[in-house]
């Protein structure tokens, strides 16, 4: 059922991710929240939500749409 739901809501996640890569932090957060409401069992959305919230206050310098982990 998870794979079917992932495919069903894929377009919603892709729209949120597009906003995220364009540094539209508030709009991306709203879109990820919308995705999370539709598909709450998908944990993939959680780090994106966290970053959107952080980046609204402290945006990364030279954003290229790619988030690099500095540590595990």
Query: Which position has the higher pLDDT, 7 or 26?
Result: 26
Q: Which among 59, 33, 58, 56 has a CA at the least distance from the CA of 46?
A: 33
pLDDT in tens, 28-52: 999 999 999 999 999 999 999 999 9
| Contact criterion met (CB below 8 Å) for 43 and 59 | no
What is the structure's pLDDT at 66? 72
For residue 2, pLDDT beyond 90: no
What is the structure's pLDDT at 69? 66
Residue percentage of the chain with pLDDT more than 90 = 65
| pTM for this prediction | 0.85
Direct distance between the N- and C-terminal alpha carbons of the chain, in angstroms, rounded to an integer: 30
């Amino acid at each position: 059922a998870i794979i079917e739901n992932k495919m069903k809501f894929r377009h919603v996640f892709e729209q949120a991710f597009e906003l995220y890569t364009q540094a539209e932090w508030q709009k991306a957060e709203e879109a990820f929240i919308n995705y999370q409401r539709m598909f709450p069992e998908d944990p993939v959305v959680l780090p994106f939500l966290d970053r959107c919230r952080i980046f609204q206050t402290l945006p990364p310098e030279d954003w290229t749409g790619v988030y690099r982990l500095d540590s595990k």
